[in-house]
Amino acid sequence: MNDGRRRYVDLPRSRARIDAEIDEELHFDIDMRTRELMAKGLPETLAREQALREFGDIAATRRYCAATDAHTERRGRVSQWIDELSADVGLALRTMRRMPGFVVVVLLTLAVGIGANASIYSIVRRILIDRLPYRDASTLVRVYAGVPPTGGSEFLTAPELRDLAIAPAFDGFAAFGMIGGTTYQTADGPTPIPMASVTPNFFAVLGASPLAGRTFGAADVAADAPAASILSYDAWQRVFGGDPAIVGRTVSFTGELRTIVGIMPRDFVSPGFAADLWNVIDVARFLEPSRVRYRGFRGIARLRSGTSIERATSQAATIAARWRAEGLVRPTTPAPRIESLRDAMVGDVRPGLLSVMSAAVLLLVIACTNVAGLFLARATSRRREMAVRIALGAARGRLIRQLLTESALYGVLGGLMGVSMALALNPPLARVANAVLPKLGDIQVDFRLMMTALIVSLLCGLAFGVLPAFSATRVDVKEAMGDAARGASSGSGRVRLRQLLVSSQIALAVVLMVGAGLLLRSFSGLLNTPLGYSAERNVLVFSLDAPVASFPDTASRASFFSAAISRMRAIPGVAAVGVTSIGPWNGPNGAKLSDPSNNSAVEPAPVALVTASDGYFSAIGTRLLRGRAIVETDRVGAPLVIVLSESVTRRLFGDADPIGRRVVVDLGGNRGGQLHEVVGVVEDYRSRPTRDPSPAAYVSDWQATNWARAQFVVRTTADPATVVPALRQASRDINPSGSMGYLRTMRDLTRGFLAPQQLALELFATFAALALTLAGLGVYAVMSYAVATRTREFGIRAALGARRGRIIALVFRQGLSATVSGIAIGLSLALASARLIAGLLFGVSSHDVSTFVLVPAGLFIVMVAACAIPARRATRIDPVQALRAE
Amino acid sequence: MARGSSELVPGTVDVLILRTLAWGPMHGYGIKGHVSDRTGGTITIEGAALYQALHRLEKRKLVRAWWGVSEANRRARFYDLTAAGKKYLEARSGDMREYVGALLRVLDAK
């Protein structure tokens, strides 16, 4: 009899087995009773009959027991599975404790891969995958004016808006424009608030409801209605301290009185433009003859349900044909362009984000490959352990399961570390992303994302565990346990597999490094792109307001700004001060120039029209090429003057001397058609390093209608930080209630242009550096292992008189052959995939030769270094010891 | 007078089995004989009731079972009390004593 200590359930029993066992058990009972009755003298048949009768319903018992046992069995199997799993996990943990170095390398490698992916995916999800934060966002579109081949603005005019709004494709058509900023005087001084003007139906078209108060209605544009505005949640908190009584109050912004009628909720996102204050605007007022040509509106519309963008576009084309026939637009002007709101808001950043996401995925693949290589190397050294266990009767399936449990455990632990890494990186990353990318809501690592990351990590663990697990358990017991196991080279198949893993890591690292290299070349090119103005730290820009309330007319505003300029010029350390209406960095303010003497043989030239005061060019650093700059005497009453940029000059006058010629400045508004005398020529400028140079024209600030706000440009000889207090004092002296806004150095301002490129570059560079490190570690690990297993061989070679050089060459040949093939594969992959980041590159071909040469060269050097340590170790092998060790 | 298990108070068979196994591991036939012997033949458990109860107790983890070799040198299924079975037996025998005591007080009332 057994001792009763056996396990409750040994092996899972099949249904047939259960039935057979019950039969046997019941038969045993009947037989015993039969025998007992026979001993009392009954003949066998009668004894059996009586035994059966005494037993009761044997068929029902059989059925009952079978059903009960099946249930027991199922539960037993689950508990057995849990028992085995916890045994495997326990064994894995004990194994891990024995080799902390290995564990740290594996977990860090995985954590880096998972952490990078979770971080980037948290951004990608918010911007590219989650729905836009509007009702039925997929039916929202942006509508742009067609731009004629000669250039022009994508903004719409009021008549165009009026005609497009009644197209049947649209179920609501709103417009916005006049994007700019204002200030509000708080206790801490004036606070800048970005603002924009929107049509009364703007919020209704988006399907957005206010947090407090109301959104705009038709009554807000009635002739006698007060100027109505809506605040963003952010501005409500930041500027008004979250005071709920603000709704309904009339507030003064830069001397302009506006009534706050509502506050938008926290998650409301301004669709594609920054605004914390939305003012209502009546587009109908722009149908007056004097303003009818004002091209400053951007259209946002909701498609009628079931209407496609194509259908809306074709209706817009029909309308545009009528405009051409009526002479409202040029004959060459194409139809308005319609684009989904999502594309309009995130289309620019999609390629960059997807590239960075792909880079993160590549990094994860490299990490997994690296870990697989490490596992494989370890599997080889565990062959003896496996052989012992197989010899002791362990099933191979069971061993594989145990090894997979171990790698899954690595996967889960690595995933947990990766998720913590992503959580730690989230705040800084979200800050950077919000500054660079369209703001669509909080970028966060939430529970769903964490779970996804953990599952991905677990799958990675299983994926890299499968090969080593099968490889480790494919053991010839006799061979592995015999002497041959010690020091003999491991199977050539396994060596080839490890070399393959190393090669693929190197190949993927090459792809990432080429990507980073191309972005770096592009970025450094952009940094050195001449902008046509200074990008230095010692040039300060800021805005200064001459509120309409205090300075009601052009003359008073001009004298205010004039006084400010002369006061600031007097400050020690200031080299030049100038004023402009709109800095070149703000993008073009469209106008058209024509040469009246030319009888329209040349099409009017579209230019960015900028106003400039005396001193502006020297302050901003735009070079004067011919003639003179704007001077102080170019005032109202004096002849109207204009300074052209070189490409406009060429366009209008060819190589002829433009100085003294006259041009007509057509602003498309009420100031159209005035003749200006050309007094100078300056260089072109780029509003962004990534854009082509803009043709520009500068009129005297003193001869233009002065706006209530001017942009000041101050060039300093001293450290700008030391000059700022004096500048502030000067502005307060002239107007105690006004203050400098948006103060920045030109270096910060121009660096900001490149923030998206910089972010993409930094992420790519980080991933590439990690990839290179991992690949280097991979090569090092494989070579160290190879040297360790070839100790005897190297010992014999040394004993037979092989020179050190020969042994070093042996090691390098093995390591570098994997490197060379990896580089070759990587370069062809990089050639094929570089096109994917072509959209992120400026001034660099996606097949840039120097990148494709330098990257492999650099990588090769790192790999040589990774081989050098094992190679040195190989030459140090003492032949006597190596042979004795056997 | 012999009584079949069908005439017993519900739950009695379980307690009888567990109490018998408290002496040591036994197969089904042995349990039946033991109960019959101890009660002088007053209580006999039918095979059908016995084996259904044994398998039910096994499912509830109150007993565990394994295949062993009987005194007659035949393969037989043996049963043994688990720790949970011991605890259950103690609780149920207390209940039963109380029940029988109450029953007797009614029956013996003068």
- Report pLDDT for A590: 64
Task: Tell me what the mean pLDDT of segment A871-885 comes to.
Answer: 76
How does pLDDT run across A480-493, given as a tens digit for each residue? 555 444 444 455 66
Chain A environment of B74 (Cβ under 8 Å): 28, 31
What's the CA gap between A38 and A48, in Å, rounded? 9
Q: Is A30 on the interface with B (CB under 8 A)?
A: yes
Sign of the alpha-carbon dihedral angle for A98, A100, A106, A112: positive
Residues of B in contact with A57 (CB under 8 A): 48
Per-residue pLDDT at B4: 61
What value does the mean pLDDT take over residues A503-509? Answer: 90
pLDDT in tens, A709-729: 788 999 999 888 889 889 888
- Tens of pLDDT along A419-471? 999 999 888 888 888 777 777 777 778 888 888 888 988 888 888 788 777 77
Q: Is B78 on the interface with A (CB under 8 A)?
A: yes
Instruction: Tell me which of A6, A11, A28 to substitute to probe the interface with B (most B C-beta atoms closer than 10 Å).
Output: A28
Please state, in angstroms and rounded to a whole number, the distance separating the CA atoms of residues A228 and A231.
Answer: 10
Q: Which residue has the higher pLDDT, A735 or A615?
A: A615
Give the pLDDT band (50/70/90) at residue A870.
confident
Q: What is the pLDDT of residues A749-781, one digit of tens each?
A: 888 888 888 888 888 899 999 999 988 888 888
Q: Does A2 reach chain B within 8 Å, measured CB to CB?
A: yes
Residue A491 has a pLDDT of 56
ipTM for the whole complex: 0.92
Residue A337's alpha-carbon distances to A165, A303, A312, A587, in angstroms, are: 14, 14, 10, 21
Cross-chain Cβ contact A32/B64 below 8 Å: no
Q: Report the alpha-carbon distance of residue A308 to residue A285 in Å, rounded.
A: 31
Q: How distant is the alpha carbon of residue A91 from its chain centre?
A: 41
Name which of A3, A144, A117, A537 is nearest A361 in CA terms: A117
In angstroms, the CA B6 to CA B9 distance is 8
CB A260 within 8 Å of CB A229: yes
User: Is residue A496 predicted with pLDDT exceeding 50?
Assistant: yes
Query: Given CB atoms, is B59 within the 8 Å cutoff of chain A?
Result: yes
Q: How does pLDDT run across A356-372, given as a tens digit for each residue?
A: 899 999 999 999 888 88
Assess whether pLDDT exceeds 90 at residue A286. no
Contacts of A238 (CB under 8 A, 6+ apart): A191, A276
Chain B environment of A28 (Cβ under 8 Å): 27-29, 70, 74-77
Chain B: residue nearest A10 by CA? B66
pLDDT of residue A370: 87
Q: Looking at residue A64, what is its pLDDT?
A: 94
Extract the runs of DSSP E, i.e. beta strands, from chain B. 26-27, 63-69, 75-81
Q: Which of residues 19-58 of B touch A (CB under 8 A)?
A: 25, 27-29, 32, 46-49, 51-52, 55-56, 58
Question: How close are the terminal C-alpha atoms of chain B, in Å?
Answer: 26
Written as one letter, the residue type at A13 is R
Find, in chain B, the residue whose alpha carbon is nearest to that of A73: B59
Contacts of A114 (CB under 8 A, 6+ apart): A364, A414, A415, A417, A418, A419, A421, A422, A453, A456, A457, A460
Mean pLDDT of B71-85: 91
Task: Round the CA-based radius of gyration of chain B to a whole number and report it.
Answer: 15
Instruction: Judge whether residue B9 has pLDDT over 50.
Output: yes
pLDDT given for residue A84 in this prediction: 84
**pLDDT-based confidence at residue A413 (cuts at 50, 70, 90):** very high
pLDDT score recorded for residue A792: 78
Residue A624 or residue A329, greater confidence: A624
Q: Per mean pLDDT, which of A8-12, A438-442, A539-543 is the most reliable?
A: A539-543
Q: Is A246 exposed, middle or buried (0-12, 13-18, 19+ CB in 10 A)?
A: middle
Is the pLDDT higher at A667 or at B49? B49
CA dist A500 and A818 (Å) reads 7
What is the pLDDT, as a whole number, of residue A397? 80
pLDDT at A587: 55
Point out the residue among A8, A60, A69 whose CB comes nearest to the CB of B64.
A8
B1 pLDDT exceeds 60?
Answer: no
Lowest mean pLDDT among A37-41, A300-304, A595-599, A724-728: A595-599
* Chain centre distance of CA A782: 35
If pLDDT is split at 50, 70 and 90, which confidence band does A14 have? confident
Integer Cα distance of A469 and A402 in angstroms: 9
Note the pLDDT tens digit of each residue in A57-67.
999 999 999 99
**What is the per-residue pLDDT for A292?**
79
Q: What is the pLDDT of residues B18-46, one digit of tens each?
A: 999 999 999 999 999 999 999 888 888 89
What confidence tens digit (pLDDT) does each residue in A820-858 have?
999 999 999 999 888 888 888 888 888 888 999 999 999
Q: Check CB contact under 8 Å for A28 and B76.
A: yes
Q: Chain A residues with CB inside 8 Å of B56's CB?
A: 68
Among candidates A2, A61, A71 on the partner chain, residue whose Cβ is nearest the Cβ of B51: A61
Region of poorest pLDDT, from A2-6, A585-589, A792-796 = A2-6
A240, A184, A178: which is closest to A248 by C-alpha?
A240
Residues of chain B positioned with their CB less than 8 A from the CB of A77: none
Residue A57 contacts B, CB cutoff 8 Å: yes
Is the pLDDT at A807 greater than 50? The verdict is yes
With cut-offs at 50, 70 and 90, classify the pLDDT of residue B85.
Answer: very high
